[in-house]
Amino acid sequence: MALPDYDCLTCSACCHQREGTILVTEEDVAHWASVGRQDMIDSLGEGHFGERAFLMREEDGACVHLGLPGKPHHCQVYDVRARVCRDFQAGSQQCREFRRERGIPNP
Ligand code: SF4
Ligand code: SF4
């Protein structure tokens, strides 16, 4: 649940990461398979620690699933995003660090 002062839809700092660091789990993969989202599985790359991860775009360092027409901070796969995306807490220390790194002021 996003805190009111942290507007994720004007931010998306946590969706801009180094390649291989937004890791997905076997549970994510099993879920995507069960709901017919083979495209999610096919779009994964190698992650750190021998796991799989979302690929990052070269041009802007964002997750390949970030951005809709006219809505650059929206997730294209919000309903089936990975567990790590669901669990990430707006307003957490890591959120605040990611925002600071991208020059987005913290409340
Ligand atoms: S870095 Fe924090 S405020 Fe920005 S999109 Fe992620 S959770 Fe939301
Ligand atoms: S799947 Fe969506 S929420 Fe998760 S990192 Fe990619 S764009 Fe962000």
∠26-58-67 over CA atoms, to 5°? 70
Q: Is residue 71 part of a domain?
A: yes
Predicted TM-score of the model (pTM)? 0.94
Closest residue by CA, ligand 2 atom 2: 75
Pocket test for ligand 2, best of 64, 75, 89, 94 (most atoms within 8 A of CB): 75
Q: Is residue 107 part of a domain?
A: no
Ligand 2 first shell, C-beta below 6 A: 15, 22, 54, 63, 65-66, 75, 77, 81-82, 85
DSSP structural state of residue 104: P
Q: Domain range for residue 70?
A: 8-101
- The pairing of strands 23-24 and 71-75 is unpaired
**How many whole angstroms from 74 Cα to the centroid of ligand 2?**
8
In tens, the pLDDT along 52-70 reads: 999 999 999 999 999 999 9
- Domains: count for the chain: 1
Q: Is residue 27 part of a domain?
A: yes
Q: Is residue 15 part of a domain?
A: yes
**How many whole angstroms from 38 Cα to the centroid of ligand 2?**
17
Count the Cβ atoms, other than its own, within 10 Å of residue 37. 17
Q: Is residue 77 part of a domain?
A: yes
In tens, the pLDDT along 63-105 reads: 999 999 999 999 999 999 999 999 999 999 999 999 999 999 9
